[in-house]
Structures are given as structure tokens and as C-alpha cells.
Amino acid sequence: MNVKMRNAAAILVLAAMACPLGLLRAQAPAVESRSVWDGVYTEDQAKRGEPIYRKECAACHGDMLTGGESAPPLTGGAFLANWNGLTMGDLFDRIRKTMPQSVPGRLTRQQDADILAFVLRVNKFPVGKTELYRQSEMLREIRFEATKPAPKK
Amino acid sequence: MNIDGLPLVKPPYGTITAINLDKGEFVWQIAHGETPDVVRNNEALKGLNIPPTGQETYNIGTLVTKTLVIAGEGHVTTTADHPRGAMLRAYDKMTGKEVGAVYMPAPQTGSPMTYLVNGKQYIVVAVSGGPYSGEYIAYTLPSAGE
């Protein structure tokens, strides 16, 4: 980093600090984190994910996601408890790093995101208007909550 | 089937049962496993004192020794007593009374097993679930002076 850039960075920081409180407050709702109950995937995406799931995952995890002889279910109480309180980023990275178990990491980020959209639909999380991201950093902003949070007052 | 995370079926959701094979009778039956978070923390049950419900389990095996039945939990919970994780529990074989429990970072899969090396007893358990892809954990008591 050269000196000029470093100065620019310093000025940016100052500008952020000088930002009036009112403006900060106005921005607050935008950074409020979302959960899987806020419609984080689309119906089309889940439809795209279904055949990929059937081809790549169903042999072990079952057609209905209820698990197989040695692979755990991807729906139901134990599955939801496993991820409750973590983020979609954790779940996505887990699939990227370890699944499909025979050849981990073989699928693209887009394919994994589509499969995950299908998994969310089977688990009855609500559909939304935007597709599920395929970037781990962005997925980490979406909380996985097993049950619907109480409505905000 | 569940409503807002609450299963429609009445607990216990998971049990361990000792059966006297000579008589075909239950000797004891206990709920195995911490009450799931979605039940314990459910708004609809606020203020109620719910005894441990046990957990619906998936492929959880037991280890039986001369005096104990040992089995881990199949669900992740977070309670006042332990961080996010699951417990490996030991019960008195004759009565079903819990006599001890140790923490695991993820739920048990398969069955625990035990072995002896140089006079030291070990228990090994496979865990997996959530961010944990299959791992083995071995437990033993500290040696004298450790």
C-alpha cells in the first residue's frame, strides 16, 4: 500500500466516525441480520436444486431427505437442532467441504446453493423473491433458526 | 409433524428400555437425552416445568458393560449446564438411574465402544452432525498424578 492510499483509508475512517448519529440510526435496519424465515430463496431455485439433489445426494440421504442406512436425514428434529443458531454459511461450507461424501467439492457453488434452496423448501422455510446466495460470506449473514422467531412488536 | 417446532406426539420422544428376556417384561424405561432446544425454549411452554423429554433418535447405539449402559445423545442442545453440543450418558444397568455424563461437541453416531490398554480403560465414540463431519473421540480418566 502506498502512502497516498493509506491517507485515503485514514480519511474514510474519519468520515465514518464523523457520520452523524441520526444517519447511523437510519441505516440500522438495513444491517439487521436475516434468518431462514425471511424468504431467502426462490421457488425457481428450489426447482433447479431438486434434480441435482436427486442425482447427487438422494442415494445416501433418501428421496424424501429422511436419511439412509448411514447418512443422516436433512430434515426433521435432529437436522434442525444440528444447525439451529448457526448460519446458512456454516451449512453451505459443510456441504462444500464434505459432500457429496464420495467426491467432496465436486459441485459448483451455484449447484450447492440450488440444492440448499431445495432443502430449505422441503423443510418448509418460506420462499422469497431473491435467490439464495452462493457466496459463503453472504450466507453467513443468514441465521439458521429451527423455529420461527416470535413476530417483532 | 410439528407446530412451531413442537412435535404433536407426546413425550418421551426417545427412551432406553431394559427388558427381562426371561419374563418378557420391562425392568425399567427412561427418557434418553436432553429436552430439545425447540421444546425447552418454546414460547408456548413458557413457565412450565418440563421433565427431560428425551430425543427422537437416529441410529444411536448403546454400549453395555458389567454395570452400565452408555449411550450418547443424537441431538445438539445448548443448556445452562453445557455449551452447544451433546452429552454421552451412563446409566446404572440395573435401575436406569443416570450415574454420569460427559460433553461431546457433536451428537453420537453409531455405538460407543470400550477397550483396555495398559490397565487404562477407554471409551471411544463416533460423533457427527452440524459442522462436525465424522470424528472419533476417546475418553479416559486421568492417570494418578495427572
Please report whether residue B96 resides in a domain.
yes
Per-residue tens of pLDDT for chain B, all 146 residues: 677 778 888 888 999 999 999 999 999 999 999 999 988 888 888 888 888 899 987 678 999 999 999 999 999 999 999 999 999 999 999 999 999 999 999 999 999 999 999 999 999 999 999 999 989 999 999 887 76
Closest chain A residue by Cα to residue B132:
A94
Q: Is B58 close to A78, i.e. CB distance below 8 A?
A: yes
Q: Is the minimum CB–CB distance between A72 and chain B shorter than 8 Å?
A: yes
Res A16 pLDDT > 50: no
| Shortest distance, CA B89 to any CA of chain A (angstroms) | 18
Range of the domain at A4: 1-29
| Shortest distance, CA A147 to any CA of chain B (angstroms) | 6
Q: Is the minimum CB–CB distance between B56 and chain A shorter than 8 Å?
A: yes
Please report whether residue B89 resides in a domain.
yes
B72 with B104: CB under 8 angstroms? Answer: yes
Chain A residue numbers touching B133 (CB-CB < 8 A): 94, 97-98
Tell me: do A94 and A50 sit in the same domain. yes
Reported in sequence order, the residue ranges of chain A that DSSP labels E, i.e. its strands, are 34-35, 142-143
Q: Is the minimum CB–CB distance between A94 and chain B shorter than 8 Å?
A: yes
Our CA angle for B73, B75, B79, nearest 5°, is: 90
Note the pLDDT of residue A131.
96
Tell me: do A138 and A65 sit in the same domain. yes
Please report whether residue B3 resides in a domain.
no
Of residues B5, B13, B109, nearest to A147 (C-beta): B5
User: Residue type for B61, please?
Assistant: G
Tell me: do A88 and A45 sit in the same domain. yes
Please report whether residue A39 resides in a domain.
yes
Tell me: do A21 and A95 sit in the same domain. no
**C-alpha cell recorded at residue B108:** 453420537
Tell me: do A13 and A45 sit in the same domain. no
Query: Which CATH number do you get for residue B103?
Result: 2.40.10
- The complex's ipTM? 0.83
Tell me: do A121 and A61 sit in the same domain. yes
What's the structural domain count of chain A? 2
Q: Is A77 close to B56, i.e. CB distance below 8 A?
A: yes
Tell me: do A69 and A139 sit in the same domain. yes
